[in-house]
Structure 1
Amino acid sequence: MSYDRRGGGYYQGGGGGRRRHRDDYDDRRRDHQETPDDQLKAAIIKLGEVDPSEELGRLEIRIREHIPRNIPLLSEAFRISVTEQPFKIPYYATLLRQLHNKSDNPTEEETPIGRLILEDFWRGFQGYVDQTAWREARLCIHFFAHLTVAKLISADSMLALLRSFTAVLDEFGVSNGRAKRACLCAGEGLLIAGPILKEHSSTFPDEIITAIQAYIDSTASQKWLVAPLSMLHSDSIPQENTIELLDMLVTNLKKLNESDFADTENCLPRPYAIYPPFDPSVLQPYVLPSVLVPPEAIEMDTLSPDTSGEETQVKKDEWPEFFPRLFPSEVSPDFVNPAGYVIRTAILDILDIFEVNRKECARLLLEYPKWNLPGTFKPKPGSTMAVEPAPGKDWQLESTIIETVLGAYLILPESSKKSIYYIGLITEICKLSPSTVGPAVGKSIRRLYTSLADGLDVEAARRFAEWFAVHMSNFGFQWVWKEWVPDLELTVQHPKRAFMRRAIEFEIRLAYHERIFKTLPEQMQAADAYTIPDNGPTPAFEYEDPGKFSLFPHKHHDSAQAILNLFRGRAKAEDVITHLDTLRESLESSDEPDVDSTVRSIAVQSLLHIGSRSFSHLLNAIERYLPLLRNLAGGGASSTTGVGGSAEARTDILAAAAAFWKHNRQMVAIVFDKLMQYQIVDPTDVVGWTFLNGSAIGQLSEVSPMNLSAFEWDLLRAAIDKANGRVVSARRKVVALRKEDDDTRAKAKAGSGVDTNMEVDLETKPQEEADADSPQLVAALKAYSSLTKEQRMALSKTLEGFISCLAPSSTAPHPNPQARTVVSESAWENRANWGRDEWNAWETWGWYKQFCRAYAPYLRTYVNTLETVSFGRFEGVSDPAGDTLKKIWNVATGQE
């Protein structure tokens, strides 16, 4: 092998390798060379990269001159463009209007290219409807609405199309998600085509608005449960700083309807308006064929048996979507401004479509003004283009984008995309234009921080802290913390102080303790500020070398060192178990009060100490000594599957792990998750431990165990998700094995010549099929049944834990009177004087709401059992807390 000095690389045989590489590259280029059809399709999709108005004429000529004519290809290009670049829809409507002109030398039988494309486009739309691809169908309706205004589509057929979507609202038991999407299809189609539709039928807009309003009225209780700013004592939702998506739509439709949709011209560009309508004798408007929205498909998320033993389908819930207001009307569009609705929904569509590429999404968002009416947004700093501000507009683009992205991020009970997508997108936008986006982000942070004391939902506050920490990590952890120093005078559990602690804890996870400590002002560094711990997230080995933590050694220090030496020497699990048995006997002889708990604590903490160097060390330690952990849990070293032993032993293991990582709550959650994954403990154990001991972990040792914070909620959520996930996995396995058995049985019958269509005795067939089940299927069904019971127990224990916290009985060991008082109107009005206990109780109420709305589909599955067990003691009793608990439960489970 020689070195090629010309190219700086190695080659063989006098450069043959380089020539072969070049030849291969040329072959690949020839293989992927675009055809003229591909080039035309790409040109249509890329319309407007420079100036859409100037490009329309050239693109029209190119389409007309393309030979041979390929209508399906052109239609596909339009469908892709409309459904993936909705901000360009008015310009594609203009292009289609131009293509409706006949050629220079037309014949009477000639059909315009535009009409052929539209007919084929409709077939694609029908496919979207049949597949219930709601987003694509809605954006196609936007296209049809623009074509209706351009007089290319008949108003009658457009009316019928919109009515077909409002008919969905009359379906019995229509789901929230289906109804919401149908409302958006009909309402946004009316918003765009309103001038023509109102002129054609003066009563039609009222018909659509009334249908949407009737559905909105039926969701009043659901809106109360998911509003980001709401009060426990009242169903009313503050409207000054937040609004629900459909409320925003219908409010703007009513406003437009009052003016006969004259204001629509100020909402959307209509470049096709310069063309006169066609003479009906020359070209009749296209009549959209009738369409029927197919019935709702049952989407399987999991399958669980209800109390009667029958299988019930459970699917993910969809709730009303609320968006917070962060800026005044002169900075970002108001909720009741029709142009504002168009802009916000357009931004939301870009967020949804370009999730796969956040960099491209960020670029398109900052270029969005190009597709709006001139004067909608303020020009960029340093721009030489003189644009007259439009009356009532002249908004700040960056503030509008950040407000909309954060609104989508904070939707309750969960956002439609992963949190990291919205966080990463804001970072990309900041990188593209730091001088203009940075101030908008800073103002958003301050506005959300202010709303913490006004009742911002605890789940929204948790996500806010997560976004704040990650965003700071991307920009050097620079924040003016001194602005919030006066808030240190608030009670320690005030939402603002809780936010500081959580955000700083998240920042430490993303960097290290010393660096974050130095970014804080001196007042926040003090121990009594309860903002950042004195020590970093290090392990707290109770049996450590006494020279490191105290002047006197722990009485079990030597015993722990012996166990540590075994682990360091990679002793077999059986040898460690034997040593622990010997240790147990010696402790019993010395009158140790709780021998078993002490042995478990020494063993678990020693094992975690070995695994504390890194995450891989932790996994290796746990996997190597699984028999030991099962023995400690009481299941015996020979147990290989399933959780066994006593609940007390499993609780001791959790307590030892939490004590070891008491300075690092993230590691507590990780270790608990691994213990559940390897079935050392079950989710119910984690739920029970969390309610009794969770708040003892962390900085605030004086927090009452009768209240929950974001840390405890994370543990509960992990446990419930683990139980639900196991049911989903078990169900999939049952379905696969059942299908395999059915296939095997069918092949056996076919091989024996048995007519599979012949009638079989209905009384004997089920028994024969049951006898034919394979041992694998029988085992899978047994495991599925066991896991559904575990799921029910985890949900039941969580519900009982919340009730014990929020409405404890008079004989409860830790009565919590504040949980009852904070649900009153007078208490909420007096929240400025709340102390630690009141804010603790308020946060616990927030996590109960999140539990009910996030796991509503699973709770409905076991609603009868859970209600009887958990709410029975409130029957016939006047208890404000009990009434509020039941109200939240009824709304979440669809009973109110």
Structure 2
Amino acid sequence: MYDRPHRGGHRRRNRDDRDHHRHEVHETPEQILRKHILNFGEVDPTEEVPRLAKEIRDFTPVSIPLLSEALRTGVTEQPYKTPYYAAILRVLYDPTEGEDAAASGSSSLGKQILEDFWKGFQAYLDKLAWREIRLCIHFFAHLMVAQIISIESMTSLLQSFAAVLDEFGVSYTRGKNAAVCAAEGLMITGGVFKKSSVNNLSEIISTIQTYNESISTSKVLVQPLAVLHSESILVEGADEYLDTAITVLKALDSGENPETTPEFPQPYLAFPDIDPAVSSPFELPSILVPPEVIELDGLATDAGEDAQVKKDDWPEYFLHIFDNTVSPDPLTIEGFLLRSNILDISKLFEVNRKECARLLLEYPKWCIPGTFKPRPGAPELEDDGTAKNWQLESTVIETILGALFLLPEASYKSIYYVSLITELCKLSPSTVGPAVGKSIRKLYNTIADGLDVDISRRFADWFAVHMSNFGFQWVWKEWVPDLALTDQHPRRAFIRRAIEYEIRLSYHDRILKTLPEAMQTDSTVIADQGPGPEFNYEDPANPHYDAAQSIIGLLRGRSKADEVIAHLDSLKNTMDDSSGYPDSVVRSLATQCLLSIGSRSFSHLLNAIERYLPLLRGLAGAATSSAPQPPGSGSVEAKRDILNAASAFWQRSPQMVNIVLDKLMQYQIVDPSDVVQWVFAREDQKQYISGSAWDLLRGAIDKANGRVAIARRKVAALRKEEDDSRARAKATDVGSMDVDADAAAAKADEPAADSPQLTTALKAFTILTREQKYALTYTIEGFVACLAAGDAAARSQKILGESAWENRGSWGNEEWNTWETWGWYRHFCRTYAPYLRNYSTTLGTVGLQKIDDSTDPAAELAKKVWNIATGQI
């Protein structure tokens, strides 16, 4: 066989080598030094402090901006290294050997770096970048303890943040951030404050406490363990962030915390005290915290109301899953700062969950030895009686779950926290796995003790996803005894919901095999059949079977919408008894046949809906135009028939009901307010709202709010475009010498007419805002009817008393259903508080009118929850 020689092989290889060298990145000495500063401490931070300080001092030429920027990045993006960065600056703060900084009038390298660092801090302050501000304050606090920053200037800095709390009408977000900045700064510097003559500790604590008391009412709505009959903000098994901070500060001020051992690393104390004659302490400049910038877009729809809705901040309650021998007590300085550090790591590294998991498992390296138990295989430390030996994995899992279960919602999407726990398990399955298992069991045990309904839903979601990542292996037999509880008991509801979520992530038969026999045979735990369509007209024995087949034939043949509509019209007059098909039957037939065609996949569903939009709009009695229609357009009865048919078709798959209703709202077949009314009017929802019903309500309200937000942005963009065009035209007219001055002035005084595009956008915005109000109003009315009006008030009375709560072990389905409905009402009010507050007068007058004059305990509680959410108390 003839083999052709390979020509040019060496040339190609040489060319590849040249390309490789051409694309090599050669780092400059400055970049290398910056990388060394940021990567500092990967092996042993204590040993690396003097070596890195020497490298910085020996680097030439000196670049102060480079050094301060690298240090500032390290402090704000790797806060667990802050004490060691302070130690490095402490070494650099001393003059070099043989140099007398005071005599020469020059500043030491450390002082120059700190001066430039302050400029960066001022930039954070101007932008109100609260996280960076707080982490820089941590750095300044450590530097004060290291004698680099004067006590007087540090006191003034903390007082500047405490002064924010005295501002008139300070928002909760601004007040909380300022309070935390001052509180955490005091925790780090408190011991030095106590020993100094400049002691403003009590004054700052008092200011924070006064502010905290002013917002205490709102804490009632975000307690993770809710008790309806109690107004106390103290919850067993959970703590609120500011409450905890104040408790820690009070203990510090009273001297209750022992000073025999440090609560956090202070490596800079290993160096000699600074000689004031050689290096004077750095004086932090005085500051004023700039005010918040409030942006108004001018699209207020009610007099005196700003329609711009921004996300609300609420008090933060963290669950306690483990006792203080397993994880740190947050009511101590050490416990508070450890939790703060772990939270900071989880937030800063949200973009890289794998790196975040690695750093969390390596966190003991940045703590005092003995803080956490040594990892398996690591050498045991000598116990001098000061070691805490907490469990790192349990502490990390407790903190992450605390962040996941914040109310009304977590800082990040739930999937991030779930994925982070999964990565932790993959990195160290032998240690993290048991901590996760213990967390699940302890949380499950609190479900019937008042665990918030939305936390219970998120718990089930996390449980199902976590099980899906590890083969759905769980010891279900532990929970078999709870099958003796009533069907609507929270534990039974959790089991049912968790299994439903697992089936969504896998399939019915596989999940069925993972359950013990007692659960497999219980239809209230897992359905006999997997999720799927339930076509009512599939049985030949059904009297409407032939009509359904004729419709399906047209749809499968891709007949035009007009032809299908004509066929439906003909069905109304072709029944055997000559009376014709009722309109409701025709709507049910058409809707279910269309869903049957689209039941194979999401793409089939979307194609079917989009192809037959005129048909669906005709069934709903709505206009065929895609432009936003005024609320209430179309036939209420017709829309309800469509919703009933869709719900019946997917009755074995609540997830698909949500999806189909979302698409019907998206294509404006039904309005969000129609869905809200339908949810509260369904036969099985007249008295109670379950988790699946809440999912439908939330989808409808979010759809209404989202449409208004999109319309607002469109109007703002068009208005800006028009203003810019008018400004350019005016400048052109003024610059033209041919234009008569009087005519130009008269033209400028004329009111400018809006463009057709802007007029249309404003009309759509008005319509969508009205629909948003309707959806919110109907939701409030529905909850009031379920909980506090008429017979509902008597049902609520059974669970509102303290004695009733103590005897909850004897509650039946009715009591637990009522308790869950109250939970969803509270969640609705706190989740949509910004929207409710915007239209509080309108919504409150209409939505609460049935109980406006009532003094019944249920009515009083419903009004109180509303008033807290809207900021009226």
Distance 1:520 1:816, change over 3 A: farther
Q: Which residue of 2 aligns with 1:93?
A: 86
Is the 8 Å Cα contact of residues 230 and 237 (structure 1) preserved in structure 2? no
CA contact (8 A) 1:501 1:531 kept: yes
Distance 1:587 1:470 in 2: 51
Quick one: distance in 2 between partners of 1:710 and 1:16?
68
Say which SS state the counterpart of residue 572 (structure 2) adopts. helix
Equivalent residue, structure 1, for 2:836: 859
**Measured at CA, do residues 54 and 622 of structure 1 come closer, stay the same or move farther in structure 2, by a change above 3 Å?**
same
1:768 paired with 2:745, answer no
User: Could you say which residue in structure 2 is the equivalent of 1:35?
Assistant: 28
CA displacement 1:387-443 (0-9 Å, x = unmatched): 427536110000000001000000000011110010000000011111111111111
Amino acid at match of 1:661: W
Residue 56 in 1 paired to residue 37 in 2? Answer: no
| Structure 1: distance between partners of 2:114 and 2:192 | 19
Deviates more, 1:628-637 or 1:161-170: 628-637
Distance verdict in 2 for CA 1:787–1:436, change over 3 Å = same
Partner of 1:823: 800
Match of 2:552 among 564, 576, 582: 564
Query: How far apart are residue 527 of structure 1 and its match?
Result: 3.6
Contact 1:749 1:755 in 2 (8 A): no
> Offset of 1:727 from its aligned partner?
0.7
Q: Deviations over 1:9-36 (max 9, x none)?
A: xx9954655544443232111xx32110
Q: Is 1:333 equivalent to 2:328 in the alignment? A: yes
User: Does residue 1:647 correspond to 2:636, yes or no?
Assistant: yes
Q: Aligned pair 1:848/2:822, yes or no?
A: no
Change (3 A) 1:743 1:307: closer
CA distance in structure 2 between the partners assigned to 1:380 and 1:242 by the alignment? 28
1:467 corresponds to 2:462: yes
- Tell me whether 1:747 sits opposite 2:728 in the alignment: yes
Matched residue, 2:427: 432
Matches within 5 A, 1:185-224: 185-201=181-197, 203-224=199-220
Out of 130, 138, 146, which is 1:150 matched to?
146
Does the 8 Å CA contact 2:626/2:668 hold for their aligned counterparts? no
SS, match of residue 571 in structure 1: coil
What does residue 114 of structure 1 align with?
Answer: 110
Aligned counterparts, 1:569-718, within 5 A: 569-587=557-575, 590-591=578-579, 595-637=582-624, 642=629, 644-693=633-682, 705-718=686-699
User: What residue in structure 2 maps to residue 549 of structure 1?
Assistant: none
1:435–1:287 CA distance, 2 compared to 1 (3 A): same
Counterpart-to-counterpart distance in 2, 1:861 and 1:220: 22
Distance of 2:16 and 2:570 partners within structure 1: 69
Measured in 2, the distance between the counterparts of 1:436 and 1:425 equals 15
* C-alpha distance in 2 between matches for 1:104 and 1:759: 76
Within-5 A mapping of 1:286-297: 286-297=282-293
- Alpha carbons 1:307, 1:864 under 8 Å: kept: no
CA apart distance, 1:584: 2.0
| Contact 1:588–1:595 (8 Å) recurs in 2 | no
Provide the rounded CA distance (Å) in 2 between the counterparts of 1:502 and 1:173: 42
Cα separation, 2, equivalents of 1:327 and 1:75 = 41
Structure 2 residue corresponding to 1:786, chosen from 749, 752, 767: 767
2:239 is paired with a residue whose SS is strand
CA contact (8 A) 2:370 2:387 kept: no
Q: Does residue 59 of structure 2 align to residue 77 of structure 1?
A: no
Paired with 2:824 and 2:866, the residues of 1 have a C-alpha distance of 13
Moved more, 196-205 or 343-352: 196-205
Matching of residue 507 in structure 1 with residue 502 in structure 2 = yes
871, 883, 886: which one aligns with 2:848: 871
CA gap 1:150/1:208 in 2 versus in 1, 3 angstroms: same
Taking the aligned partners of 2:14 and 2:64, their CA distance within structure 1 comes to 43
Residue type at the aligned position of 1:140: C
Matched, 1:398 2:393: yes
Pick the aligned partner of 1:359 from 350, 354, 377: 354
1:539 is aligned to 2:506: no
8 Å CA contact 2:397–2:435 kept in 1: the answer is yes
CA contact (8 A) 2:94 2:279 kept: no
Letter in 2 for 1:795: L
- Cα deviation, residue 877, structure 1: 2.7
Q: Which amino acid aligns with 2:222?
A: V
Q: What's the offset of the Cα at 1:212?
A: 1.1
Shift of 1:589: 5.8
Match of 2:701 among 720, 738, 756: 720
Q: Following superposition of structure 1 onto structure 2, how do residues 183-262 of structure 1 map, counting pairs within 5 Å?
A: 183-201=179-197, 203-259=199-255
2:46 partner amino acid? S
Cα displacement (A) at 1:628: 1.2
Helix, strand or coil: the match of 1:323? strand
Unaligned runs of 5+ in 2: none
Cα distance in 2 for partners of 1:237, 1:790 equals: 36
Tell me which amino acid in the other structure corresponds to 2:870.
T
Quickly say closer, same or farther: Cα 1:453–1:759, change in 2 above 3 A: farther
SS state of the match for residue 438, structure 1? helix
**AA in 2 matched with 1:669:** N
Q: Deviations over 1:242-297 (max 9, x none)?
A: 11011111111111222286539531111100112221111110000011110012
**Partner Cα distance (1:473, 1:83) in 2:** 36
Structure 1 residues 672, 303: closer, same or farther in 2, change over 3 A? farther
Query: In structure 1, how many angstroms separate the alpha carbons of the residues matched to 2:652 and 2:385?
Result: 56
1:820-845: CA deviations, max 9, x gaps?
A: 32122221111111000000000000
Which of 713, 722, 727 is the matching residue for 1:732? 713
Q: How many residues align?
A: 864
User: Deviations along 1:613-647, whole A, 9 cap, x unmatched?
Assistant: 11111111111111111111112556665474211
Counterpart of 1:585 in 2: which secondary structure? coil
Query: Residue type matched to 1:682 in 2?
Result: D
Per-residue CA deviations over 1:477-528 (Å, capped at 9, x if unaligned) read 0011111111011110000000001100000000000000111111111245
Shift of 1:197: 2.0
Alignment deviations for residues 210-248 of structure 1 (CA, whole Å, 9 cap, x no partner) = 111111111221111100012111111453311101111
Separation (CA, whole Å) in 2 of partners of 1:793 and 1:760 = 50
Pick closer, same or farther for the CA change 1:672–1:172 going to 2, 3 Å.
same
Which runs of 5 or more structure 1 residues have no equivalent in the other structure?
6-10, 547-552, 697-702
Query: What is the alpha-carbon distance in structure 2 between the residues aligned to residue 189 and residue 37 of structure 1?
Result: 32
**Compared CA separation, residues 12 and 568, structure 1 to 2 (3 A):** farther
1:675 offset after TM fit, Å? 0.7
**Structure 1 length as normaliser, TM-score?**
0.93
User: 1:127 is matched with which residue?
Assistant: 123
For residues 425-464 of structure 1, the C-alpha deviation after alignment (integer angstroms, 9 at most, x for no partner) is: 0000011111111111111111111111100000110100
Query: CA, structure 1 residues 544+486, in 2 after alignment: closer, same or farther (shift >3 Å)?
Result: same
In structure 2, distance between residues paired with 1:710 and 1:454: 18
Deviations 1:347-372 (A, max 9, x none): 01111111111101100000000000
Deviation at 1:577, TM superposition (A): 1.2
Q: Distance in 1 between matches of 2:230 and 2:174?
A: 28
Query: In the aligned structure 1, how far is the partner of 2:391 from the partner of 2:742?
Result: 73
Of residues 517-526 and 89-98 in structure 1, the stretch that sits farther from structure 2 once superposed is 517-526
Equivalents in 1 of 2:3, 2:171: separation in Å?
69
Instruction: Give the superposition deviation at 1:886.
Output: 0.3
The structural deviation recorded for 1:176 is: 1.0
Alpha-carbon RMSD: 2.4
Note if 1:457 corresponds to 2:452.
yes
